[in-house]
Structure 1
Amino acid sequence: AVTGWWKPELYVAEYKKEPGGQGKLVGYEFENTFQFTEPGRYWADVGLLASYGHPRGRGPGELELGPLIEKTAGRFDHRVNLIWERHIGSGASHGTEFRYSYAGTYALTSSFRPGIEAYGRPDDNAYQAGPVATGEWHVPGTHGNVEYRIGLLLGINPAAPRRTVLAQVEYEFF
């Protein structure tokens, strides 16, 4: 983090695989998270996501903006994200899309937090939910942590993908 309230992240490789297709590198992303409230001081912690995704090759980029709301109560952690996305640049559509997500986990340990995630894209009428596991380990002898998230989302309605596998590994250093 640059400050206690601003955390920029750079994703140097965004990989995407559509059902029945081959996976490919699709772009890069510069993401900024801003923390507006002091964690734990109010009923919920409130922040903002602002990011720009740059495509690999040609095509429009993406701007994303929206509030991030988190509530921790004992070992339970709840997160709600409300995100608006707009394509910009050559070939961009003129519409703004909305999506939301919910994540709830229970901390058995810092390295294992089982839970559930749910996603909605009202513009596409697509809704998914499923089990996840997340965790974090401190890398000994460094100022870094490894975080992971794995899960399986199932389509709730016909417009949603039937199954989506989540797999994310991050190395954070400060």
Structure 2
Amino acid sequence: MLPADALARKVYSPAVEKGEAEIGYLLDYSVNTDPARNAGARHQFEYELGVTDRWLTAVYGDFRKNPGQKFTWQGVKWENVYVLTKPGEQWLDAGLYLEYFRPRAGLNLPDALEFKLLLEKESGGLTHTANLILTKELGRNALPHVIAGYAWRSKWRWRREIEPAIELYGGLGDVSQTLVPSRQSQQAGIVLLGKLHGGFSYEIGYLFGLTPVTDKGMLKFIIGYEL
């Protein structure tokens, strides 16, 4: 598995607000009937800043707890979002995402580079967002593969405080030899998200595994606070 995890359970929108700074916490918690796979967790702590009205940059601390192991710091991620078309400017909003993962010394993990094409379209009261993902390991111990994946969200803009959504996540394998569907990581679930008074935002949901190699279930939780 790539350390930068092309299936981070967050859908990125091609929208940036200049000058907006935010701190956040992200949790992915796996649920499985197999004790050897149950209760794996990924914790991420972030600080992000809208540098301009087109560029957002963020730094993440990545922590993980694998089943039967201790909670450990994995490394640091630096991510950037660049807006290609401002919201509503074209028929389809678009942006680019670039992330660099640097593992903690001593883990013998490779660095990793992740690229995403961000696409978004509003239709009536719905907002549809797609992330097309490519991930490549770099440096020592790196595998030669380029891994493809995707993330999708269809959100109902009901109220600012509560927006129900359906999210899909998939890992398709090496682009040169895509895995058969039963060997792909595929998840789908219901998520609630919104912005609250006082600068808080949240996302909470449960994702169901759709293939034998995917976690049976996963709790997703994100909370942010605008500074």
Aligned partner (choices 82, 86, 95) of residue 145 of structure 2: 95
What is the match of residue 133 of structure 1?
Answer: 192
Equivalent runs, 1:10-89 vs 2, <5 Å: 10-11=59-60, 13-19=61-67, 21-58=69-106, 59-89=109-139
**Residue-by-residue CA offset, 1:17-73 (whole Å, 9 max, x unaligned):** 345554433222111001001211212100000011111233211100121001123
- Specify whether residues 104 and 16 from structure 1 end up closer, same or farther in structure 2 by C-alpha distance, changes over 3 A only: farther
Following the alignment from structure 2 to structure 1, what is the Cα–Cα distance between the partners of residues 186 and 67? 17
* TM-superposed deviation, 1:2: 1.0
Runs of 4+ off more than 6 Å: none
Equivalent runs, 1:157-172 vs 2, <5 Å: 157-172=211-226
- Specify whether residues 161 and 63 from structure 1 end up closer, same or farther in structure 2 by C-alpha distance, changes over 3 A only: same
Let me know the Cα RMSD of the aligned residues: 1.7
**Structure 2 residue matching 1:122: 3-state secondary structure:** strand
**Structure 1 residue matching 2:196: 3-state secondary structure:** strand
Q: What TM-score, normalized to structure 2?
A: 0.68
1:148 maps to a residue whose letter is Y
Q: What TM-score, normalized to structure 1?
A: 0.87
What is the match of residue 202 of structure 2?
Answer: 148
2:218 maps to a residue whose letter is T
* TM-superposed deviation, 1:14: 1.7
* TM-superposed deviation, 1:138: 4.8
